[in-house]
Structures are given as C-alpha cells and as structure tokens.
Amino acid sequence: MEERINNVIEKVQESNTIVQENKDAIMLKLEEWRDEEEAISDINNHFKQFWMDLEPIFAELGWI
C-alpha cells in the first residue's frame, strides 16, 4: 500500500491542474496515511459499514 500512496504523491506533485493550496492539503493527508499502518483497514471498515447500512435497502428493492 505504501507504494501506491507514493505513486499518488508523485502524481499530485506533478499535476498542473490541482491548485497549490489543495495540493498542500492532499499531500498532508497522503503523508499521514503513508505513515499510518491502519489507513487501509480504516477505509475497509468504512466501506463494510456503508454496505451493511445499504444492503437491506437494496434487498427490499430486489437488487440483490
């Protein structure tokens, strides 16, 4: 995962379409995630919770 975050950091730094103040905020968060071992786990947990909240609705609609 650290390699992917490093790739994103490189792309953000090279981007000409991102405003500098947004770049700074993005870079700060990416640096924080790169140092944090649990970042992927947190994202995974958020998606699991999101699915658990929506699954009954989709089932009721007959989509699953």
Confidence of residue 4 (pLDDT cuts 50, 70, 90): confident
Instruction: Read off the pLDDT of residues 19-60 as tens digits, 9 standing for 90 and up.
Output: 888 889 888 888 877 777 666 667 777 788 888 998 988 888
Residue 39's pLDDT is 64
Q: Stretch 7-24: mean pLDDT, rounded? A: 88
| 15 contacts 23 by C-beta, under 8 angstroms | yes
Residue 11 has pLDDT above 80, yes or no: yes
Q: Is the Cα dihedral 28, 30, 36, 39 positive or negative?
A: positive
Domain boundaries, the chain: 2-61
